[in-house]
């Protein structure tokens, strides 16, 4: 047992550690408040979402479904989740929605559990071509012990080769034909490939994690009307909610719906983070109001940003298709597997621009790729438009092409960002249509 001196020293050390954590939290907030957050898998949430995420619900449980719980004390949360399910069905135009999943990857694990057994076959986009790690043996596909075959890839169009992929599906006859990517510039040619999958009895699954907001906003594609039986996704990328996931389905079959619900609870979640579910519900309501314009502006900004980067002299992928139809832009900065993408990301961070290195077609090493994957959804959320994308591209050129001192550029980035400190496309208490960051 510690003596009084030991207790004092331990308390002092714990207080110092807590203060260090709080200072780091504040510093992280300052980094993004003063800089340009351009990681394609991130977004910011409204103050109302922040409020409910920080509520008492953070430590509560509600195992089961609304009005069918294993615990008492869930009446109020039943109301919340029921509202959220109804909103998700409306926003995504679907007869089935599960809003409990704690992430996009957990949504994928649950869907794979519901749709296939260990040893079954699955087809998906390879990670080298932009597929998500959960679609690979290293991720959820391996966790469920599924036999993976990957689609032939059309690098110029940045999508599966339609004819060759359809032939692969007909040959493999997978239990699940999985589509969607982590590097996701253009809609998947889903109707043609879903037809091939359904011909051989496959279930079509679409991972819309990155583009879920664009889908709901009517600005990308409509997977559940184009042949997908199940669509999974994240609630915190182009859909501007808290960390979490969705599972959606076009099926009205009660048995099929029960399998999906059971795959989430008890299949992959016990407590499913009630505070985050509640944040999703607020975000769904905000998206119903503002989502179409948010999505339209996000895609317009991404296309403008790709064009502006190309005009500065960057190697921007998919020029023949207008660079992008999503929130993402891809740039190559050196030879394959050279680490040029990692080096570029570090230099940009020194200038207050937060990005991530990324493998591009032809790269084989995840830690030393040649490219960057850039997202404009966070900049759009604070009110930037197509004109500002030219300014942002100029910052990139100053750092990466003109080798200007990143610290000097960082000062200019901070001054530029000071004009964009209001969170848009959310409920507000005044007439500004937004809240301060």
Beta bridge partners of 123: 149, 177
Q: Are 200 and 158 part of one and the same domain?
A: yes
Task: Give the pair of three-digit tokens for residue 187.
Answer: 């809609």
Q: Which of 250, 284, 318 is the last residue of a domain?
A: 284
Give the per-residue pLDDT at 66.
96
Rounded to two decimals, the pTM is 0.94
Q: Is 80 helix (H, G, I), strand (E, B) or coil?
A: helix
User: Percent of the chain scored above 90 by pLDDT?
Assistant: 92
Q: Give the tens place of pLDDT for each residue, 313-336.
A: 999 999 999 999 999 999 999 999
Give the per-residue pLDDT at 10.
86
Average pLDDT for 54-61: 95
Give the per-residue pLDDT at 3.
58
The answer, yes or no, to whether residue 81 has pLDDT greater than 70, is yes
The tally of domains found in the chain comes to 2
User: Rounded to whole angstroms, how far apart are CA atoms 149 and 126?
Assistant: 8
Q: Are 115 and 226 part of one and the same domain?
A: yes
Q: Say if 37 falls within a structural domain.
A: no
376: domain range? Answer: 291-436
Q: Say if 14 falls within a structural domain.
A: no
Task: Give the pair of three-digit tokens for residue 75.
Answer: 């009446």
Give the per-residue pLDDT at 431.
45
* Residue 428: band (very low, low, confident or very high) from pLDDT cuts 50, 70, 90: confident
Q: Say if 17 falls within a structural domain.
A: no
Give the per-residue pLDDT at 433.
55
Q: Are 247 and 328 part of one and the same domain?
A: no
Q: Are 219 and 303 part of one and the same domain?
A: no
Give the per-residue pLDDT at 295.
98
Task: Give the pair of three-digit tokens for residue 159.
Answer: 């999508």
Strands 159-160 and 153-154: antiparallel
Q: Which of 264, 284, 304 is the last residue of a domain?
A: 284
Q: Are 355 and 207 part of one and the same domain?
A: no
Q: Are 109 and 257 part of one and the same domain?
A: yes
Q: Is 141 helix (H, G, I), strand (E, B) or coil?
A: helix
The answer, yes or no, to whether residue 390 has pLDDT greater than 70, is yes
Q: Give the tens place of pLDDT for each residue, 43-54.
A: 999 999 999 999
CATH number at residue 312: 3.90.1150.10
Mean pLDDT, the chain, as a whole number? 95
User: Rounded to whole angstroms, how far apart are CA atoms 107 and 243?
Assistant: 12
Neighbouring C-alpha atoms within 13 Å toward the C-beta of 119: 0
| 48 contacts: CB under 8 Å, gap ≥ 6 | 282, 286, 426, 427
Q: Which of 284, 299, 332 is the last residue of a domain?
A: 284
Q: Are 192 and 332 part of one and the same domain?
A: no
Give the per-residue pLDDT at 323.
98
Q: Which of 5-19, 124-138, 344-358, 409-423 has the lowest mean pLDDT?
A: 5-19
Q: Is the dihedral of CA 228, 234, 235, 236 positive or negative?
A: negative
Instruction: Give me the long-range contacts of 144-147 (CB less than 8 A, separation at least 24).
Output: 144/109, 144/112, 144/113, 144/116, 144/118, 145/118, 145/119, 146/112, 146/116, 146/118, 146/119, 146/120, 146/121, 146/122, 146/175, 146/176, 147/119, 147/120, 147/121, 147/122
């Amino acid at each position: 047992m510690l003596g009084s001196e030991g207790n004092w020293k331990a308390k002092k050390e714990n207080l110092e550690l807590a203060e260090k954590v709080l200072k780091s939290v504040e510093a992280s907030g300052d980094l993004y408040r003063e800089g340009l957050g351009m990681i394609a898998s991130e977004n910011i949430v409204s103050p109302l979402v922040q409020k409910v995420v920080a509520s008492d619900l953070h430590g509560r449980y509600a195992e089961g479904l609304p009005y069918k719980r294993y615990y008492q004390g869930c009446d109020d949360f039943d109301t919340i989740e029921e509202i959220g399910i109804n909103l998700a069905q409306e926003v995504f135009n679907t007869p089935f929605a599960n809003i409990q999943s704690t992430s996009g990857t957990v949504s994928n694990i649950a869907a794979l559990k519901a749709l296939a057994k260990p040893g079954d076959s699955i087809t998906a986009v390879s990670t080298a071509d932009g597929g998500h790690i959960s679609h690979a043996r290293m991720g959820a596909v391996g966790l469920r012990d599924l036999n993976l075959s990957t689609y032939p890839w059309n690098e110029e169009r940045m999508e599966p080769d339609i004819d060759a992929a359809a032939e692969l599906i007909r040959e493999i006859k997978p239990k699940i034909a999985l589509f969607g990517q982590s590097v996701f510039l253009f809609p998947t040619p889903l109707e043609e490939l879903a037809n091939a999958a359904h011909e051989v009895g496959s279930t079509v699954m679409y991972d819309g994690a990155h583009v879920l907001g664009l889908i709901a906003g009517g600005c990308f594609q409509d997977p559940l009307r184009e042949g997908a039986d199940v669509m999974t996704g994240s609630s915190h990328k182009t859909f501007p909610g808290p960390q979490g996931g969705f599972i959606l389905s076009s099926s009205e079959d009660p048995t099929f719906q029960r399998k999906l619900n059971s795959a989430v609870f008890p299949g992959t979640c016990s407590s499913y983070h009630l505070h985050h579910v509640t944040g999703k519900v607020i975000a769904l309501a905000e998206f119903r109001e503002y989502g179409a314009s948010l999505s339209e502006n996000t895609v317009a900004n991404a296309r403008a940003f790709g064009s502006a980067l190309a005009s500065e002299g960057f190697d921007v992928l998919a020029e023949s298709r207008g660079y992008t139809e999503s929130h993402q832009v891809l740039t190559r900065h050196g030879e394959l597997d050279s680490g040029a993408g990692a080096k570029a990301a570090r230099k940009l961070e020194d200038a207050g621009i937060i990005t991530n290195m990324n493998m591009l077609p032809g790269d084989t090493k995840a830690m030393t790729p040649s490219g960057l994957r850039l997202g404009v959804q966070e900049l759009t959320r604070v009110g930037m438009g197509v004109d500002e994308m030219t300014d942002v591209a100029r910052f990139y050129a100053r750092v990466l092409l003109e080798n200007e001192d990143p610290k000097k550029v960082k000062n200019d980035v901070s001054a530029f960002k000071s004009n964009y400190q209001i969170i848009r496309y959310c409920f507000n208490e005044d007439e500004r249509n937004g809240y301060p960051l």
